[in-house]
Amino acid sequence: MSLSSKSKTFEFWSISLWEGIIVFIIFIILFHLPMFYTSELQKWWGIVIRLYLPMVVLCTLGYVKLRSRKLIIEVNKKNQREFIYTRNNEQLLTEFEKVKIFYLKSLKGKIGRILRIEGTLYFIYSKNPFSKEVAKQYKSKIEELQDIIGNNTKKKELI
């Protein structure tokens, strides 16, 4: 997670399991690639290629992946409204009054929000937290949600 101090912008990213497996396979292929060279410098260049080339390729792939999956929580300085945007500046969630989205967390395949209400953090998980239906539910039932959270003194996960 990165935080820009000027614009108060939080950035999030994630890599799925199958993408991690693909990156691991690429790393294995690039690690064993120098074994096919036949020269006197294979001993030294093999070490350099085995260490340097996979790092460059994987860092490049990781940078491209992070840039493509970026989600931003943007704070408007004028009236302190918080929204979630994609990298194309499409607004995904509506404005919340007292509930502020603090950051995202995943648990057992579910994506969740950690909400901050009056200085306390609460975990709420759903299968698709960025759908329009979920945004409408949060907007329409925000007082009911605050009542449930207010009664949850042990700060357990809310499902």
Sequence-distant (≥ 6) Cβ neighbours of residue 79 within 8 angstroms: none
Mean pLDDT of 138-156: 55
Name the pTM for this structure: 0.26
Q: Which CATH architecture has domain 93-151?
A: Beta Barrel (2.40)
d(CA 72, CA 152): 29
Domain extents in the chain: 2-68, 93-151
Between 102 and 49, the higher pLDDT residue: 49
Least confident stretch, 8-17, 101-110, 130-139: 101-110
Tell me: the pLDDT tens digits for 47-97?
A: 666 677 777 776 666 655 554 444 444 444 444 444 444 444 444 443 443
Q: Is the dihedral of CA 147, 150, 151, 157 positive or negative?
A: positive
The CA distance from 68 to 88, in Å, is: 10
pLDDT at 117: 53
Residue 111 to residues 21, 23, 36, 60, 108, Cα–Cα distance (Å): 20, 22, 44, 26, 8
